[in-house]
Structure 1
Amino acid sequence: MKYQAKRRALILLADGTIFHGKSVGDKEGTAFGEVCFNTGMTGYQEIFTDPSYFGQILVTTNAHIGNYGINKEEVESESIKIAGLVCKNFSYEYSRPLANDSLQGFLNDNNLFAISDVDTRALVGYIRDNGSMNAVISTDVDNIENLKKRLGEVPSMEGLELASKVSTSEAYFIGNENALIKIAALDIGIKKNILRNLVKRDAYVKVFPYNTKFEEIAAWDPDAYFISNGPGDPEPLVDAIATAKKMIETDKPLFGICLGHQVLALANGVSTYKMHNGHRGINHPILNLLTGKGEITSQNHGFAINKEETEANENLEITHVHLNDKTVAGIRMKNKDVFSVQYHPEASPGPHDADYLFDDFFKLIEKNKKHNVIV
């Protein structure tokens, strides 16, 4: 059955700016979060289920959303993680043979409120100029003052700890238990495809909750450590930062992605900051300073590490930079097998430009294991 969004709706930004639209599926609703935009032309299902987007109202820049439906196997977590959705044209019907549901059905199953028919080009331009900020999407278009009051009570993303909202509550295993390599992963918002990339390289992975003490993780005697992506401000993650410091001290290989990259920087005394509007998309250009090669990458972050402090840190080396704004996109420790990147090598936008990072991680693990063999 074909539906059309008819109920009036709006997006109200924290500075009082309003953009008008219609609710998807003629539903009433209200949702709060930090507004941000993603420039990807495809991959909306993976984006919506990415834990790194927890607490954010997502604006899609592609003019059509929902046209290839939903495949329930192509998710990055068990549920939708965005707080709300804003788009231009919402497709109620889909034509992809592998799809087993419509996007509308998927949103309904996850109880997510969305609005369409918004001038997203104007909205994205406004966010680019004025920065990411809190916002509300709602069909309560005749009660603006109440929406403003409620919006004013929503906490800022800066200083907000969100890993606890998306991390596993209990440790679990994934992969072949007889694999020769054991990797302990700290889940501060981990994506399923990261785990798939570790497992397909024949690793047995134990995933630990965000606040697990290092001693508990080390008791499993892994060959290496991994710190995942995730949402929110990295600085409140005091437990994860303390755990990262102890992971570094073990001299075992350690790899961090996105929020994990920021946690590793903080563990090395480098501060982080909230960006003007962040990097979110599948077409971000990165320069690998070690090889001189460029990479097309998938990114999703609203915080970054301090470049000047990284350059001044005698233990760190900048390995990758973002070519649009020269922000730090990768680091490694000079005297340890520890490295991290600010982008998502598992997302394959290049499609395989950044796959080598997982391979490099496993080479470090194998080298470390051989070095520690008792003759």
Structure 2
Amino acid sequence: MLHQVGVSSQYRRLTRGGATELRGRLPMLFSPLPQLFRRTTPQVRFHSILFEQLSDGGDVDVRDTPSCFRDLNLDQVLESMLDGREEYRLEAFFYSPLTTAASVLYRHETLQDLEKKEVFDTVADFSRRMRGVRAHLSRVAKLHHRYERERWFLDAAEAYVTAVSTLKEELTLRDVDSRALVGLRGYLETYVDSPDFSTFVADTQKVKDNLASVVYRVHIRGSRVEVSPYGGEPDYTPEVEQTFAKFRQGDVDDYRVHFVDRAGMNHIEARILDLVVRLNPGVFSTLDDYCARYESFLDDTVVRFEREVQFYLAYLEFIERFKTAGLPFCYPQVSSRSKDIHVREAFDVALANTLVPGKKVVCNDFRLEGTERILVVTGANQGGKTTFAR
């Protein structure tokens, strides 16, 4: 079958002597080089969606799990909240409490923007596209054939262009007020409209078009496979279908099967590709130059944003189940002057996570005022003291 030897089935004809001659366009599955790449571009006032000053989060990735997380079962809450987002390594962000009212407000503004469905969906779509970029790049490390790697690299670059350009366009249509997302929008406008990015987009499309223009013939006779230039031979597929159409009695069951997604080409596919490269040296030389020139096409700020925004997305998705059950959430007012603490209708998220939607969750109020600094909670064993502490 044509797909099994790494070409598309756009051309096929039957020849005398039982041989099958196949012709096809170069498939869209040949790909890139093995590192994860980083590029830093425009200097616009946006650094982080979590930290107004990037230096505030400088050592966040080396934070250890606080002992209180295990004591209060907060590690279980975090595990549930971050399920499915392990690749982002978000735990450290939750281990790092903010120390100023201004930094808390910065996150509150951002979270309020992301609570808007259209903004949330825009960012979630961008994240999905970026996961596709990383999937392409991670596949590169598993491949052995040079031009298979480079083709995946090109696919990753194209997916990245689409992800960033779409995010930029979508954010211009969204109602955002937070300093973080307004700053991100401005950064993306400068980045996407920059000469470097525009050249990158144009070069990506040019190389893609070059590869799509490659057409060749694969001639199979027994165990012998020959690859040669396509000479404009007619496609006999319509004629064969027309000849046998009169025997058609209706639709038949679909017996097609899905092929297992292998880590790379087999030796026959690789050999066919080698011969195609020999027939089209200019096209593949251009691909070589492209991969070398854009080895580090990922922008640091864009990559950091996509990781950090998971902090907000994970939280919003996690609390949605509780809000649906009628449990209250709010944005606490914080002060750098007053030490008073007033809490109403607080509940234990760890317990609620196991009960919703099965049982009713009991909420509690408490307050510390004036010179009060310590709450003393007493009661019988299994009476809810740890639950209240959480």
* TM-score normalised by the chain length of structure 1: 0.19
Would you tell me which structure has more helix in proportion to its own residues?
A: 2
- Structure number with the bigger relative contact order (C-alpha 8 A, sep ≥ 6) is 2
Would you tell me which structure has more strand in proportion to its own residues?
A: 1
Which protein is bigger by CA-based radius of gyration? 2
